[in-house]
Chains A and B, each alone.
Chain A
């Protein structure tokens, strides 16, 4: 039962932060809400037995990519977004429709997923770094090398884009 309480707590944090991301006007509040979502998701990955993925989420996503986002927001001095005059019935119709859509999706998921045991903390023991390393360097070696070339291309692209002078 502790698993369920913990999951509901982290899921609530993730959903609240995601709603905050979409609703806030200043990009820095949105960026920090996204860091909150990533932290909550890292804790949920721990519950699902993905220790390496949880650590990678914290190190790579929350610790490097989001810091890059925050740098860009601070450097560009992005201000609050201008509010467009939006008709009120759009909000009143949109939010229930969104909730309805999510309800339909939940119903379909419940129907389509074959019965499987629930998630308990500690039931999955294959998420440790040894297993990931074994799989990454034996089965998925080619995608691993290809992603390293991809990152090299991304670095070159970013450096070229950032150094081009504006005429």
Chain B
């Protein structure tokens, strides 16, 4: 019984944090894209637009939910349901840190540690294709159908290089469970180089990491591979007939897929929650330093604020950041929060790369996209897997 209650609490916590994070990733994306394009982004709703996701959620919930008369009703309702469900379930196997030990009670920071965790995520991303294909079909609209078919063909074409790019570090780490994968990336070479997959001998997995990132961009339908849902090319593709909450469901599914894929990249290639340099040399103070600098910058900007209400909000942010920096100094909290910080930092960097590339690159045409998958990425993934297998076989006793 104890196990059930603890799991229930963990699931509720993870679901709540994930859904809030999805909304705020959209805020981060709009702000970062805006600053790349030399404008400001949302800044009216709340300080620096921080309540914009709340306004968006209220708008999407209260909009009229239209059911067009020409759609296939059962599949029209089923498609966003499938897309969201399988995107959100994949978070269940992702470990966020080491164990939480409070007194005699300890629980890992993961909902379930399947010993086939990697295969579970691959399978769920394969079933998530149905949401897109059915949305295109149910809409009874030729643009939606073409968008849906193109998008699902793109997703299954890029699943192959992604699976082979995942297989390469698995050859060196010898496990399919995420917790064992991260534990296998602990320790340091020469005392200070972390033993992450991208640095690991006998063959550093840098090519696998790049192939995985490119395939992940295509799996989640993000720029530069987002032709099937481009607004100006295909009338927004497969979700053109969807409004309000169902449209929000597709966007939630896309961001949840982004988060899942970033988490998997951080776990497989960047060492999960392992720190960048050993704790003896002071890597325990990194979050304190980062949040402390952020707080001091907030305070220094509050001295001559750009806008009048910033005189109030910027010091508040400064105090919050300095408070978080202080929490990382408490030893009991640090043992729980430090691995969590490293993991979230790596995931955050990969999400920032997603948004950065969205603001920078133009999109591929559909035949260029499919050509790239089958003639460039797939042979490259095979060669990479072959070289990894060869080096592992030659150097193992």
Question: CA–CA, A128 to B137, complex, Å?
Answer: 38
**Does the CB pair A70–B130 fall under 8 Å?**
yes
Which A residues from 72 to 103 make CB contacts under 8 A with B? 74-75
**Does the CB pair B133–A67 fall under 8 Å?**
yes
Q: Is B15 an interface residue (CB 8 A)?
A: no
Interface string of B39-74 (1 = CB under 8 A from A): 000000000000000000000000000000000000
Interface string of B157-183 (1 = CB under 8 A from A): 001000000000000000010000000
**Does the CB pair A28–B126 fall under 8 Å?**
no
**Does the CB pair A63–B123 fall under 8 Å?**
yes
Which A residues from 113 to 148 make CB contacts under 8 A with B? 128-129
**Does the CB pair A58–B133 fall under 8 Å?**
no
Query: Which B residues touch A55, using CB under 8 A?
Result: 116, 119-120, 122-123
Q: Is B34 an interface residue (CB 8 A)?
A: no
Which B residues from 188 to 221 make CB contacts under 8 A with A? none
Contact partner of A28 (CB less than 8 A), chosen from B116, B137, B159, is B137
Min CB gap A23→B, angstroms: 15
Query: Which B residues touch A129, using CB under 8 A?
Result: 116, 119, 176
Question: CA–CA, A67 to B129, complex, Å?
Answer: 8
Query: Number of A interface residues, CB 8 Å?
Result: 19
Query: Which A residues touch B114, using CB under 8 A?
Result: 51
Contact partner of B127 (CB less than 8 A), chosen from A52, A56, A58, A74, is A58
**Does the CB pair B137–A51 fall under 8 Å?**
no
Min CB gap B176→A, angstroms: 6
**Does the CB pair B126–A64 fall under 8 Å?**
yes
Which stretch of B145-153, B225-233, B323-331, B346-354 is in the interface?
Answer: B145-153
**Does the CB pair B130–A59 fall under 8 Å?**
no
Other CB < 8 Å A-B pairs besides A67-B133, A74-B137, 7 of them?
A32-B130, A63-B129, A67-B152, A70-B130, A74-B133, A75-B149, A129-B116
Q: Which residues of A contact B (CB under 8 A)?
A: 28, 32, 35, 51-52, 55-56, 58-59, 62-64, 67, 70-71, 74-75, 128-129
Question: CA–CA, A62 to B86, complex, Å?
Answer: 13
Question: CA–CA, A70 to B131, complex, Å?
Answer: 12
Q: Is the interface of A mostly helix, strand, loop or mixed?
A: helix
Query: Which A residues touch B176, using CB under 8 A?
Result: 129
Min CB gap B215→A, angstroms: 15
Q: Is B115 an interface residue (CB 8 A)?
A: yes
Q: Which residue of B lies closest to A128 (CB)?
A: B115
Query: Which A residues touch B136, using CB under 8 A?
Result: 74
Question: CA–CA, A28 to B130, complex, Å?
Answer: 12
Query: Which A residues touch B126, using CB under 8 A?
Result: 58-59, 62-64, 67
Query: Which A residues touch B145, using CB under 8 A?
Result: 74
Q: Which residue of B lies closest to A77 (CB)?
A: B145
Question: CA–CA, A101 to B124, complex, Å?
Answer: 37
Question: CA–CA, A78 to B122, complex, Å?
Answer: 30
Query: Which A residues touch B134, using CB under 8 A?
Result: 32
**Does the CB pair A58–B149 fall under 8 Å?**
no
**Does the CB pair B116–A51 fall under 8 Å?**
yes
Contact A62 B127, CB 8 Å, known A28-B137, A74-B133, A75-B149 = yes
Q: Is B370 an interface residue (CB 8 A)?
A: no
**Does the CB pair B149–A71 fall under 8 Å?**
yes
Question: CA–CA, A23 to B133, complex, Å?
Answer: 23
Question: What are 24 A-B contacts with C-beta separation under 8 Å?
Answer: A28-B75, A28-B137, A32-B134, A52-B116, A52-B119, A55-B120, A55-B123, A56-B119, A58-B124, A59-B123, A62-B123, A63-B123, A63-B159, A64-B126, A64-B159, A67-B133, A71-B149, A71-B152, A71-B153, A74-B145, A74-B148, A74-B149, A128-B115, A129-B119
Question: CA–CA, A71 to B152, complex, Å?
Answer: 9
Of listed B116, B129, B134, B153, residue having the most chain A CB within 10 A: B116
Min CB gap B7→A, angstroms: 15
Question: CA–CA, A64 to B155, complex, Å?
Answer: 11
